[in-house]
Structure 1
Amino acid sequence: MSNDAAATRDTVLIATELADARAATTFVAELLDSVSDTQFDADSLLLGWTRRHVVAHLAQNALAVGRLVTWAETGVETPMYESREVRDRDIDETALLAPAALLALFRSSAAALDAAWLALPESRWSHEVRGGQGRVVLASATLWMRTRELWVHGVDLNAGAGFDALPERMLRRTLGDVVASWPAGGIRLDLTGPTVESLGDQGGQASISGSLADLTGWATGRTRSGVSSPSGAVPDAPRWL
C-alpha cells in the first residue's frame, strides 16, 4: 500500500470513529433529557453510584481524554489523571453539582473534546499517549476509548436503555475488548441468534450462552439477564477495568 493510500485509509478511519463518538454522545444526551432533576439522585447500575456520579464521570472523562489529545498535539506528557485518588475525588465533587450545572458540564466537556479532535493535525494521530490503565496507545485510540465509555455508561444510567439499544458494531467491539482482557484458559461465549458464533477460549471449561447484547451486559459485569450456562449457575464474569 502506498503512503498516500495509507494516509487516505487512516483519514477515513478517523472520520468514521469521530462520527461514532458523536453518535455515542447523542445517545447519552438523549437519555439525560428524559431524566428529571429529582431522578438524578436515583441509583445507577454501578454499585455505590447514583446517576449523578455516572454523569460526573462522563464529564470528567471527556476532560481527561482531552488531556491525552493535548499530549499528542504538543508532545508534552499530560496524563489523564494525576492519580486514581484525584480521579475519584473529582467525580465525587462534580456529582454534587445541581442537575443543570452537571448537564452543562457534560455537554461543554464533550464539545471541547470534539473540538480538540478536529484540531489535531493529521501527523499527530499516531503520537503515543498513555491511557488510564497505563497502556501506551496511539492518539487515534482516544476516539474509541471515549466512544466505548459513552455507550456502556449510557446503559449504566439506568434510564431506560439496555445493551440492546447499542448498535451491533459497538456491541461486537466492546465485547471483543472485554474478552481480550481476560486471562487465558477459562470461558467460551456462545452467541445465539440467526447464526451461532463463539468467542473467548474455545477450549474453556465454562461456557456462557446468550444474545450479543446480553453477553456484553454479562461480560462487562452489568447484568446476568438473558444468559445461561450448561452447568446451571452463571458465574460472575472476570473483572473488567
Structure 2
Amino acid sequence: MPINRLPFGDVVSAVREHTSLLLGTTIGFTEEDWALPTGLTGWTRSHVAAHLVEGARAMVRVIGELQEGVQSEMYGSRGEDRQAIELGAIAGGLALQIELDTSASELQELLPELDGDLREIRLRDGHHIPARHVPLARLSEVVLHHLDLDANFSASVLEPDIALGLLAFQVERIGHRDDYPPLRLVADEGYEGTVGRTVDPATFHGPAADLLAWLMRGVESSRIYRANDDGGD
C-alpha cells in the first residue's frame, strides 16, 4: 500500500490514539523512571519526551507557516534542536508530562487542516514529504519513540493498514541511504520495499509492524524470516 493511499482521516485518528497510549505510559513514570537510559545513545526517557515536545512544536510552526503561504524546513539546525532537547530533558517529570500533553493537543487540532495539501515540506535529512503526510511523520515518531521508552509497548498493537503506511513511509524516507544494509522487505499484508543502494538485497518477510520495529529499532521478532538464497521461502 503506497503511503499516499492511506486514508488521511485514519492517520489523524491514529496520531490521537497512539499519543494517548504514550501519555498513558509516561503518566506512571517516577522521577527515577524518567532518568533511565533508552536505546538511543546518550538519551534518557526525559530526552525522548523533550524530543517529542520539540517535534510537535516544529509541526505546529510549519502548519502556521503554510497557512501564511511560507514553505520551510520541519526542524531547525541540529545544534538548536539539541540545545532545546537538553533543556527540556532537565525539567521534572510532571513538567515533561504537561508539555507532552499540551504540545500534542495543539498539534492534533491543526492536523486536519493538511488534508489534501500537496505542498512540500523538507525534513532534516533532505527528504521531502507533501504537507498531507505530516500526520504520518508525527505518528511515526510517536510510535517509534514509544518503543524507545522500553515500557512494555509493542508495535504489534498497530492496525495492519497503519503499520503498512508507517513501514512504507520509512522505507521511502531512508531507502536511498547507503548506511543501511541492502534489504528487501515483504510484508504479509501486501507491501514490498527495498532499502540500501547495493544490489542483491537480502529478503525478509513478516508482519508490517514487526518489520517496521526491526528496520527502525532493531527489535527482533520470531515472525520475521529470511527468504532462501535460491529465491524460495
Normalised TM-score (structure 1):
0.76
Q: Hey, what does 2:208 align to over in structure 1?
A: 212
Residues 223-232 or 212-221, more deviating: 223-232
**Would you say 1:199 and 2:195 are equivalent positions?**
no
Matches within 5 A, 1:5-24: 13-24=7-18
**Would you say 1:113 and 2:129 are equivalent positions?**
no
Q: Hey, what does 1:46 align to over in structure 2?
A: 40
Amino acid at match of 1:153: H
Q: Hey, what does 1:28 align to over in structure 2?
A: 22
Amino acid at match of 1:200: G
Matches within 5 A, 1:90-239: 90-118=84-112, 120=113, 125-180=117-172, 181-183=174-176, 186-191=182-187, 199-201=192-194, 204-226=200-222, 227-229=224-226
The change in CA–CA distance for 1:170 and 1:35 in structure 2 (over 3 A counts) is farther
Q: CA deviation at 1:26?
A: 1.1
Conserved? CA contact 1:191–1:215, under 8 Å? yes
Instruction: State the distance in 1 between where 2:215 and 2:11 align.
Output: 23
Q: Any idea what the Cα deviations from partners look like across 1:110-141, whole Å, max 9, x if unmatched?
A: 111123335x4878x34443333333433222
Higher CA-based Rg: 1
Amino acid at match of 1:223: V
Amino acid at match of 1:206: A
Q: Hey, what does 2:67 align to over in structure 1?
A: 73
Instruction: State the distance in 1 between where 2:54 and 2:74 align.
Output: 10
Q: Any idea what the Cα deviations from partners look like across 1:7-37, whole Å, max 9, x if unmatched?
A: xxx9x94433321221121121112123223
Conserved? CA contact 2:49–2:96, under 8 Å? yes
Residues 30-39 or 153-162, more deviating: 30-39
Structure 2: state its 5+ residue gaps: none
Q: CA deviation at 1:71?
A: 1.4
Instruction: State the distance in 2 between where 1:48 and 1:121 align.
Output: 34
Instruction: State the distance in 2 between where 1:121 and 1:64 align.
Output: 15
Amino acid at match of 1:220: M
Residues 164-173 or 91-100, more deviating: 164-173
Count of aligned positions: 216
Instruction: State, as a whole percentage, how many aligned pairs show the same letter.
Output: 24
Conserved? CA contact 2:183–2:204, under 8 Å? yes
Conserved? CA contact 1:126–1:138, under 8 Å? yes
Q: Any idea what the Cα deviations from partners look like across 1:65-95, whole Å, max 9, x if unmatched?
A: 1111011101134543331111111111111
Conserved? CA contact 1:190–1:210, under 8 Å? yes
Q: CA deviation at 1:167?
A: 2.2
Greater relative CO, 1 or 2 (CA 8 Å, sep 6+): 2
Structure 1: state its 5+ residue gaps: 1-9, 233-241
Instruction: State the distance in 2 between where 1:64 and 1:57 align.
Output: 10
